[in-house]
Amino acid sequence: MKDLKKAKNVYESIKIPEELNSTVNETINRKYVGKKSSFWKRRNIISGVLTTCLAMSFLFVFLVNTNKSFAVSVSTIPVVNQIAKLVTVQNLIEEDDTKLVKANIPAIQNTGNTDLEKRINYEIMEKMNEVLEEANKRAKEYKDAVIETGGTEEDYHPILINIDYEMKYSGDDLVSFLINKCETLASAYTEQFIYNVDLETGKELNLRDVLGDNYKQIIDNEVYKQIEERKKNSDNIYFEKGEGGFEGIEDEYQNFYINENRKVVVVFYKYEIAPGYMGIQEFEIPNDILV
């Protein structure tokens, strides 16, 4: 078609920006060489339209299996609220020229098992300190990279780091909650720290513990089914198999939490099985849990 040849001329005249080559090389180098540093320089986005929040969340799930006999005995006294809850123990706002940190760090209370509470709360605190330290380091590296590549102080926008928590299920024998970390202008690496802790035995609970030996089959079938269901809406795009799409969970340590219906919810991070705009993908598994 002659007309399309003409249009092709226009297409081929699209001007290639000078920085394309350096952007490409930089991205490859950061990504390739610096795999461990979990950091790469993003182009300095000036356009206001492009404030894409690369929100990388990860979650902590503690399944707290409290001492059942104790819980039952106190639950007969209706006025006592023995349901485990989360309280903010550290409310942190930190601001400097590289970053703005807002962190609500939770601790768990009222589980009826103080030793394990202590251990879990200590673990959360340790992990959060580590996460914040890394984020601080990344913010500094990022700023240095901007300055090194000829940017000015004004070109640099402080990185926003936000930590918050959410109770997913709280019953008299089980607690499930997650901690979200959102970092804008950060790495594309998702960090995951998952603890499934049985408070009574101290053992970490995994999918095998909550769904039995058939956990993989149960979850795979359900996830495939729900993906097909969601794809009926053409706004929902999932990566295909072989291209980063869902191909069955790897093992019993796949991320999950327990929701208010006492069901397992399997979680996939942004980009894990679908394009970024689809966000975090969650799938509720209808089977009853075994704990």
Q: Applying CB under 8 A, which residues contact another protein?
A: 1, 3-4, 6-17, 19-21, 23-25, 27-28, 31-32, 40, 42-43, 45-47, 49-50, 52, 188, 235, 237, 239-240, 242-244, 271, 275-277
- For residues 120 and 193, the answer to whether their CB atoms sit within 8 Å is no
Alpha carbons 73 and 17: distance in angstroms, whole number: 71
Q: Given the complex with another protein, which of 17 and 78 has the nearer CB atom? A: 17
Q: CA torsion 198→201→203→207, rounded to 10°?
A: -50
State the minimum distance, in angstroms, from the CB of residue 138 to another protein: 16
Rounded to a whole number of angstroms, the minimum distance from the CB of residue 266 to another protein is 20
Residue 201 beta carbon to another protein: minimum distance, rounded to whole angstroms: 37
Q: Rounded to an integer, what distance in angstroms lies between the CA atom of residue 286 and that of residue 289?
A: 9
Burial per residue of 89-109, b for 16 or more beta-carbon CB atoms within 10 angstroms, e otherwise: eeeeeeeeebbbbebbbbbbe
Residue placing its CB nearer to another protein in the complex, 15 or 36: 15
| Residue number with CB closer to another protein (215 or 246) | 246
Rounded Cα distance between 114 and 107, Å, is 12
Whichever of 171 and 279 has its CB closer to another protein, that residue is 279
In the complex with another protein, the residue whose CB is nearer, 16 or 79, is 16
How far, CA to CA in Å, does 285 sit from each of 22, 148, 249?
Answer: 46, 49, 13
Count Cβ atoms within 10 A of the Cβ of residue 43 and give its class: 0-12 exposed, 13-18 middle, 19 or more buried: exposed
Q: CB 270: neighbour CB atoms within 10 A? A: 19
Q: Shortest gap between Cβ of 270 and another protein (angstroms)?
A: 11
User: Measured from the CB of residue 124, what is the shortest distance to another protein in angstroms?
Assistant: 29
Q: How far is the CB of 269 from another protein (least distance, A)?
A: 12
* Identity of the residue, 52 or 88, whose beta carbon is nearer to another protein in the bound complex: 52
CB-based contact 22:44 (threshold 8 Å) = no
**Tokens, residue 34:** 């610096």
CB of 79 to another protein, least distance (A): 50
Cβ nearer to another protein, comparing 53 with 87: 53
